[in-house]
A and B are shown apart, each in its own frame.
Chain A
């Protein structure tokens, strides 16, 4: 099936540093998402993005978070500064468009904040 790639697979950083998580969505998809999963538990929606803009964000999407996709390159999630509670696995997803909304997920980036 369609593949979403995420780089890196693991990231360890010190609290207060900035981190950027990268996602390469399915090539013709137009809608992009970030989700957060702690300790293999519930997957929680963070934000979705279309046509260069945030469409919707949850209460988990703190002011320290930002997303962008400059010129069709990676779809990124930036956290600045990081906090201990940001440790989790972050999943990127993409979907084609309205009327074809099946979301495909990447393998996740495991972020550890020390």
Chain B
């Protein structure tokens, strides 16, 4: 987790609220992927980013390669958003992703 630092490590959200997760990179990253690992353990692809911003429904993500960080914003949190969110740094050479330790998100009514 030293090369990719995720914050916070855990987050408790009331349904309908907004929040932001962050990854800081101490390695050179040219791409970033965000995943949600659900309670069954499956990894769901949320975003694949080169530097820039993407939005998908209530989720929005940004990647700034110069400042070496990425963010994931959750808007209007729903119960099904609960799980562990991982960011992972990648590069242009099809090498293995370097994962952070994850942010455990719990959404409550």
Contacts and interface: CB of A to CB of B under 8 A. Distances in A.
Interface string B82-109: 0010101010111111111110000000
- Pairs of residues from A and B, 6 with the lowest C-beta to C-beta distance, nearest first: A45-B96, A102-B48, A105-B43, A43-B99, A31-B94, A107-B42
Interface stretch (A12-20, A48-56, A68-76, A78-86): A48-56
27 contacts: A33-B96, A33-B97, A35-B96, A40-B37, A40-B84, A42-B102, A43-B86, A43-B88, A43-B97, A45-B96, A46-B96, A48-B94, A55-B95, A95-B94, A98-B93, A98-B94, A101-B48, A101-B94, A102-B33, A102-B45, A102-B48, A103-B33, A103-B90, A104-B45, A105-B35, A107-B40, A107-B42
B63 to A, nearest CB: 13
B94 A108 contact: no
Contacts of B45: 1, 102, 104-105
Interface of B: 1, 31, 33, 35, 37, 40-43, 45, 48, 84, 86, 88, 90, 92-102
Contacts of A55: 94-95
Given A31-B94, A42-B100, 10 more contacts: A1-B45, A33-B96, A43-B97, A58-B96, A98-B94, A101-B31, A101-B94, A102-B33, A103-B90, A107-B40
